[in-house]
Amino acid sequence: MTAPKVRPKWRPPLALIVYSVLLAVMALPILIIIWFRATETTSIRMTPAEVGALVVALVLTLAVAYVLARTITGPINALIARTDEIARGGKTAIRPLESYGTREIATLSQSFLDLAGKLVDRTEYVRSFAAHVSHEFKSPLTAIRGAAELLRDDDAEQPMTTAQRLRFLDNIIADAERLDILLLRLRELAQAELPMAQGETSVEDILPMLRKRFPGLEIFGLGDTQTAVALPFEAAGIVFANLAENAAQHGATRLDLAVAADVRTVTILVRDNGSGISEGNRERVFQPFFSTRREQGGTGMGLDIVRTMLGSYGGAIRLEQTAGTGAEFEITLPLRA
């Protein structure tokens, strides 16, 4: 979810409020002394002037208390109550306060709203991710268990044929390989969530690895391929290998990496000549576990890993519109520091 924004308007800084309160408090005894010296009375009973001075002091004290409550203690207490409500699972509590008082409290509240929104998103992501992972693992595990039970319970009087036995063993091997792929993707996702050591690389550095790993693809680097970006070699390998694998699974035979750099960022267009992405699937390609090539070994985690990895290093990826066949992704990354 998108965290609500604090309404921007001028608010006094906290220092101004504190200094004003201190000056007001310091002014109270000075005003009283000046008042009594100006009236100079020896009567035991309080004169109207003395009563007036006490009333003024009381009014000023109440005014100071109101200012402090309105600008500091009230918003802070409301923020504390809102935090407790969110901690108890109150998602509807993620909304702006009615009053912020000072500029600093407004900034603090906005940071709180942003953090609360991210925590809610992360909680929902983890819940959905756990459900998808359990589903993805359940299918091959169930198939392996079923095949193993059939092999174990083979009837000695009517044993299965060699072809049947080999078919069950092949199914077990294929499902085990799928589990290996899922575990590899989970490790890559963990690396994407927790950035590796800082480093830099270029498309020119990545091309030999991609060509060796995907011999069925003609991979070309175009433009400023020697420009280094703020992405370590291992992270860059994960990003572009996932994009190349995605292209290969969609029948591509050619992959182009076109690089263009400006003052601060590098843009890399990754284009293939595969079957492309249908209009109905464009909004879903970055969703975890969404795949249209599950039969060919697709896990639906590749593009989510790419987006997460790039985000960890200040980059981004988006799917571009293509006129003909194939798919095109635009990657933006900061230049090396």
**CA dist 75 to 12, 259, 285, Å?**
14, 50, 43
State the residue range of the domain holding 140.
132-193
67 burial via Cβ count (<10 Å: 0-12, 13-18, 19+): middle
Joined together, the tokens standing for residue 99 give 């009053």
What's the mean pLDDT in 13-30?
Answer: 72
Q: What average pLDDT does the structure give for the chain?
A: 78
Is there a domain that residue 9 lies in? no
Report the predicted TM-score, pTM, of the whole model to 2 decimal places. 0.54
Strand partners, 218: 254
Residue 147 near residue 109 (C-beta atoms within 8 A):
no
Provide the pLDDT for residue 267: 92
Is there a domain that residue 6 lies in? no
pLDDT band at 268 (very low <50, low <70, confident <90, very high): very high
Residue 309 near residue 252 (C-beta atoms within 8 A):
no
Asked which of 193, 212, 244 is the last residue of a domain, the reply is: 193
Is there a domain that residue 7 lies in? no
Q: What is the DSSP letter of 335?
A: B
What's the mean pLDDT in 141-156?
Answer: 83
**One domain for residues 117 and 189:** no
In the numeric block, the tokens 């963990």 are attached to 190
- Residue 177's domain is classified under what CATH number? 1.10.287.130
- Number of neighbours of residue 127 by Cβ within 10 angstroms: 10
What's the mean pLDDT in 47-70?
Answer: 75
**Alpha-helix runs per DSSP H in 71-227:** 74-87, 103-152, 162-193, 203-213
Provide the pLDDT for residue 208: 92
**One domain for residues 26 and 74:** yes
Residue type at 266 in one-letter notation: V
The string of pLDDT tens digits covering residues 125-145 is 666 666 666 766 777 888 888
Number of domains in the chain: 3
Closest CA to 239 of 198, 268, 281, 272: 268
The string of pLDDT tens digits covering residues 217-255 is 999 999 988 888 888 888 888 889 888 988 888 888 999
**At 82, phi and psi to the nearest 5?**
-65, -40
Is there a domain that residue 248 lies in? yes
